[in-house]
Amino acid sequence: MSVSSALTRSQAFEFSGVPRLPSSSVPSPASQPQPSATERRQKKARFWLSLFIVAASLYILWSFLGALAWAGIFAICAWPLYRRMQKWWPQNGKWNSTILPTLATTVITIVLIAPLCYIAVKAAQEAMVGLPYLQEVLKSGLPMPDWVAHVPVIGHKLAHWWHNNLETPHALEHLLSTLNFKPAISVTQYVAMSFLNLGIEFSFATTALYFVLKYGDSLIKELSALTNCLFGQQGEVFGRQVIESVYGTLMGLVVVGLGEGALIGVLYIMAGAPQPLALAFMTGIGSMIPFLGGIVLAICCLIISFHSLWWGIGVYIGGYTIMSLAGQFLRPMLVGGKTNLPFLWALFGILGGIACFGLLGLFIGPAVMACMNSLWRSWMADAHATLSFQTFNPVRSASSPSQVEGSSSP
């Protein structure tokens, strides 16, 4: 090795900022104690035993992973307020460790269950009112609203079809006999079972939420230690990305969706819609999922149109304007939030998450995309740093062909 190559390596160490240890302080591989055959065998056995225990635990808890994920999401969303309540609460071990988590879990459960109970009660009341009306329609037919004949372009044809298929009992009976209700029955059963499974999952989630809130401080410390041990500083970055993504999804989808439902509910009340509060809540729930809010709004406006066509059209225009403004300005700002996640990737994460994980994907999808975005930025930062080092390295710029030839000569 020539002198120039040795200087080049020294300069490279100085430029990179890596401290050079004395040769005496660097242990050689020969000086390190080598594990015996028994220790190597025990290490392999511990590895396979640990892998088996983790796999068995995941297999046992597989049916409850969704509930645990919901509990984690609820805890992340409620944690800032819960910490404030801890400061206001009496500093007593029993109050902080038992009563406060119980109270917080009860409040969260009521907030989640009360709207669903309200919708269920209103649906049961409407079913009781609508059953006699349905029997009357089957006996005497479905009368045609006045606005049907005045629909532009297709009003005459639509009125003729209504008269031939719906207005008389015989025509209505003939129409119903030609329809296949098996797909509708299957969809109804699927929706009912989905709601039942979701209710059971939420009950387990609220039970797990109590323990997450009770031992929240210990869980945070243990998870921080585990991520630092496994992934280093990048693990902390991923953890912050997940938390900020959950907050962004909560504000950008849930809160904004409920706000849209509240504003459109005012329009429902002005239009004299039947059960405007229930329709507003359904619109708010639909607005949480991209593209679904417009469909729910159209169905609600169709219901209003049976009473007044112009009110139905006006409510649809006003509601669509509210959804468009919220989708164009509020959601991109809130969903990306501090994660700097572009709204396009957040949108794909939401839709892909729903396709893979159902309603839980509303939070999992953006969280995964936020971590991927952080990982991509980290890769790009490393790539730019490497490129800058290669471009502005004074060793490479100071080297000459003669030095290169000298370094290759003995």
Confidence of residue 59 (pLDDT cuts 50, 70, 90): very high
> Tokens in use for 278?
């229930």
Residues 293-308: pLDDT tens digits?
Answer: 889 999 999 888 878 8
Residues 316-331: pLDDT tens digits?
Answer: 999 999 998 888 888 8
Q: How far is CA 108 from CA 66, 198, 267, in A?
A: 18, 16, 29
Residues 338-375: pLDDT tens digits?
Answer: 667 787 888 888 889 888 888 888 888 888 888 888 88
> Tokens in use for 176?
């119903």
Residue 300: which of 321, 284, 288, 289 has the closest Cα?
Answer: 284
Confidence of residue 95 (pLDDT cuts 50, 70, 90): low
Residues 22-51 as b/e (b if ≥16 CB within 10 A, e otherwise) read eeeeeeeeeeeeeeeeeeeeeeeeeeeeee
CA angle, residues 73, 79, 85, in degrees to nearest 5: 145
Residues 229-263: pLDDT tens digits?
Answer: 888 877 778 888 888 888 888 888 888 888 898 89
Q: How far is CA 168 from CA 78, 94, 146, 153, 157, in A?
A: 56, 70, 16, 25, 17
Q: Is residue 203 part of a domain?
A: no
Number of domains present in the structure of the chain: 1
Residue pair 371/241 in contact (Cβ under 8 Å)? The answer is yes
Residue pair 327/297 in contact (Cβ under 8 Å)? The answer is no
CA angle, residues 158, 127, 304, in degrees to nearest 5: 40
Q: Is residue 371 part of a domain?
A: yes
Residues 164-203: pLDDT tens digits?
Answer: 888 788 888 877 778 777 887 888 888 788 778 888 888 8
Q: Helix, strand or coil for residue 218?
A: helix
Q: Is residue 370 part of a domain?
A: yes
Q: Is residue 260 part of a domain?
A: yes
Q: Is residue 138 part of a domain?
A: no
Residue 79: which of 284, 263, 242, 306 has the closest Cα?
Answer: 242
Q: Is residue 223 part of a domain?
A: no
Q: Is residue 30 part of a domain?
A: no
Residue 330 structural domain:
238-379
Q: Is residue 297 part of a domain?
A: yes
Could you tell me which residues come within 8 angstroms of residue 294 by beta carbon, excluding any fewer than 6 positions away? 320, 323
Confidence of residue 27 (pLDDT cuts 50, 70, 90): low
Residue 323: which of 312, 335, 311, 331 has the closest Cα?
Answer: 331
